Amino acid sequence: MKEVRYNDTMLWATFEDWPKVPNYLLNNLSLFNNNELQYEGKGLRVGLQNNKYYKNSLYKRWPALPDLESWIRENIPCNFNQIGIQEINPVVKNTKLLVHCDKEPRRYTILYILDLGGENVFTNFYQEHNQPLVRNYGDVTNNLDNLQHIASAKFKTHQWVLLNGLIMHDLDPLERPRIAITGSIWDIKEISSLA
């Protein structure tokens, strides 16, 4: 496990020793049931930075099919909730998933990225001026000039990643849909390798 911290707060961790999802589960083009959309971001946000406007990408999440969920529960050492497939789709090429905190119950988000969404996509972490580092579920800001950049990560495909969902973060730049297996946990003590 590799963990990255800022002011003694965990931002993200990667788990090289966790098993990769087998190809027979990933080769199934229907990793999820398209008729069972679990969550869809509503409304189109626009962010402003250096007098330039950015449209937000669209976020959707579906529950994982039973075979994939069973494999994850049997092989990954944590107590997942909301196991599913997420798609973050840029409205236009080279756009962002704007700065946000994850919505409840995603205190910590687990990802297994299948498609990065581009060759040079970074997950960036921020602290908003005059605000605490750890925020509330669902907090957003549209004034990107009011942020202090604290760290960036360029994750790999087919690697397990844990994000602190209550630290403001974005994805930039997205060239195509970013697709990942995703889940959430309440407490990092639920991950046996962090306990």
Q: What is the pLDDT of residues 67-84, one digit of tens each?
A: 899 999 999 988 888 899
Per the structure block, which two tokens stand in for 80?
A: 């997942």
CATH classification at residue 72: 2.60.120
pLDDT for residue 168: 97
How many domains are contained in the chain? 1
* CA distances for 2 relative to 16, 21, 40, angstroms: 8, 19, 31
- The verdict on residue 40 lying in a domain is yes
pLDDT for residue 77: 86
- The verdict on residue 26 lying in a domain is yes
- The verdict on residue 72 lying in a domain is yes
Angle ∠(138,68,78) on CA atoms, nearest 5: 60
Domain range for 81: 2-190
Residues in the chain, pLDDT under 70: 28-35, 37-46, 48, 53, 192-195
pTM of the model: 0.89
Judge residue 72's burial from the number of C-beta atoms within 10 Å of its C-beta, 0-12 exposed, 13-18 middle, 19 or more buried.
Answer: buried
CA distance 85 to 37: 10
pLDDT for residue 195: 43
CA distance 4 to 131: 21
- The verdict on residue 195 lying in a domain is no
Phi, psi for 69 (deg, rounded to 5): -60, -45
